[in-house]
Homo-oligomer: A and B are copies of this chain.
């Protein structure tokens, strides 16, 4: 059995949220909205769209204005497949492929200077990420109504913020601990 493909389901979800979307706009979603928990480049997206049209999950239309653009929309079958996928419960936690943990793992000595260095860098990265996430929450969800209209999206953004804050707090605590005991 090959590795389970989930890219087509993500694309179904994107098209469902934005009917008449182009391949380029779908690709852009992976750089912004979805980028926190999945990545895909345009060279993955275009062939996938072709396959999905071929399988009858979506259909495409062209416009007179722009000869090259193709506008994709879900078929009934596609909508059905998306809903079925959304209803299937998750069976496993993801593996956090994390260079920070990996490097720490191999450092044995408590007083190794690389430990505070790695922590300091991780803090910089996480703080920058937190700032970005909070700014996005403000722009994407400026009022209660926008939250109600996209509740799942709101939830995971809130979750990402909470998680990042938690990690920052833990790193700060550890940093302090190491300094005190040094």
Contact = CB atoms under 8 A, between A and B. Distances in A.
Copies of this chain assembled into the complex: 2
Contact of A115 (B99, B100, B155): B155
A121 B155 contact: no
26 contacts: A6-B102, A17-B108, A36-B96, A37-B95, A37-B97, A38-B102, A39-B95, A86-B107, A89-B118, A89-B121, A90-B103, A90-B121, A92-B125, A93-B129, A94-B98, A104-B155, A105-B152, A107-B152, A108-B149, A108-B153, A109-B151, A159-B167, A159-B174, A162-B166, A162-B170, A163-B170
Contacts of A96: 36-37, 94, 96
Contacts of A152: 103-108, 112, 115
Contacts of A95: 35-39
A49 interface: no
B106 A17 contact: yes
Interface string A151-182: 11101101110110011001000100000000
Interface of A: 6, 10, 13, 16-17, 33-39, 82, 85-87, 89-90, 92-110, 112, 114-115, 117-118, 121-122, 125-126, 129, 148-153, 155-156, 158-160, 162-163, 166-167, 170, 174
A162 to B, nearest CB: 5
A107 B151 contact: yes
